[in-house]
């Protein structure tokens, strides 16, 4: 009989030891769990600080606001031959540039080359958009603060234009009208329009300079007397005449 109390005492001691062991294990786990929470909180704070320093924090960027002394130019068709060289000149002269192109004829390699040359934030951005989509064009204008537009987005093959005249009328006229409507809605007053790269024909002397005469055929086109381009030229002049403060400059390009 004397052994019974000792057995009960031993059992209680054993249970007490087991419980104290469990308590001891919990005590060791709690600091680790609290440490993980502290590390996670610190990382979260760091991420928030980095985001606040980012130009795009809060859904805005330098491209979406006007800045004194900075002219933001939208270059349509900027991945093409003439558009990319115009963009190069703009960036060299410290303009802010947004290129928009659907890459149907443009080259993304040209855009990447420009991005490598001008990697600074707020200098250059590329937007993949088709100007035939009015909603996408209006969204682009609503999200960016443009000061001017240089319009190079077009199809420009003479042979192809005779085979697909409706496509050319739509691309050159309808898409340009979409851009003009977006400009009017967002108070962008300056448009530089690329007329034709063949305006000088086959010149008698090289190199071609500003005083080189244009061919009679292309001069007639530019004055609105011939061809779809002539109708488009006249169409732009009528729009400019009817819109207060809108300035449209039609340029003939021969390449850089």
Domain of residue 149, residue span: 72-253
Residue 74 has pLDDT above 90, yes or no: yes
Look up residue 119 and give its DSSP letter.
-
Average pLDDT, the chain: 76
Specify if 46 maps to a domain: no
Residue 38 pLDDT? 77
Is 98 among the domain residues?
yes
- 171 in a structural domain: yes
167-199 pLDDT, tens digit per residue, is 877 787 889 889 999 999 999 999 988 765 566
Q: Cβ-count burial of 78 within 10 angstroms (0-12 exposed, 13-18 middle, 19+ buried)?
A: buried
Query: 7 lies in a domain?
Result: no
Phi-psi region of 190 (alpha: psi -120 to 50; beta: other; left: phi over 0): beta
Query: Phi, psi (5° rounding) for residue 67?
Result: -130, 140
Domain count of the fold of the chain: 1
Instruction: Please report whether residue 15 resides in a domain.
Output: no
**Separation CA 125–CA 138 (nearest Å):** 17
**pLDDT at position 119:** 96
User: Does residue 1 surpass a pLDDT of 90?
Assistant: no
Instruction: Say if 24 falls within a structural domain.
Output: no
Q: CATH code at 115? A: 3.40.50.720
State how far the alpha carbon of 234 is from the alpha carbons of 15, 176, 220, in Å. 99, 13, 11
Is 10 within the bounds of a domain? no
Q: pLDDT tens digits, residue range 127-168?
A: 999 999 999 999 999 999 999 999 999 777 777 777 887 787
């Amino acid at each position: 009989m004397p052994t019974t109390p000792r057995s009960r005492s031993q059992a209680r001691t054993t249970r007490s030891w087991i419980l104290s062991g469990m308590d001891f294990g919990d005590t060791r786990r709690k600091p680790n769990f609290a440490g993980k929470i502290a590390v996670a909180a610190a990382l979260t704070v760091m991420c928030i600080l980095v985001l606040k320093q980012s130009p795009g924090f809060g859904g805005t960027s330098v491209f979406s606001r006007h800045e004194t002394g900075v002219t933001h130019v939208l270059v349509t068709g900027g991945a093409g031959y003439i558009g990319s060289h115009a963009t190069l000149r703009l960036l060299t002269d410290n303009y802010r540039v947004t290129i928009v192109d659907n890459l149907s004829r443009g080259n993304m390699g040209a855009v990447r080359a420009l991005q490598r040359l001008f990697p600074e934030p707020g200098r250059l951005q590329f937007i993949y958009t088709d100007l035939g989509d009015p909603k996408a064009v209006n969204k682009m204008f609503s999200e960016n603060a443009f000061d001017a537009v240089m319009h190079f987005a077009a199809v420009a093959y003479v042979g192809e234009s005779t085979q697909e005249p409706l496509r050319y009328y739509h691309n050159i006229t309808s898409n340009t009208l979409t851009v003009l409507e977006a400009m009017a809605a967002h108070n962008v007053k300056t448009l530089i329009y690329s007329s034709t790269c063949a305006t000088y024909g086959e010149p008698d002397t090289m190199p071609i300079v500003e005083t080189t005469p244009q061919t009679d055929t292309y001069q007639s086109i530019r004055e609105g007397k011939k061809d779809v381009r002539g109708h488009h030229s006249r169409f732009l002049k009528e729009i400019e005449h009817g819109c207060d403060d809108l300035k449209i400059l039609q340029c003939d390009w021969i390449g850089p």
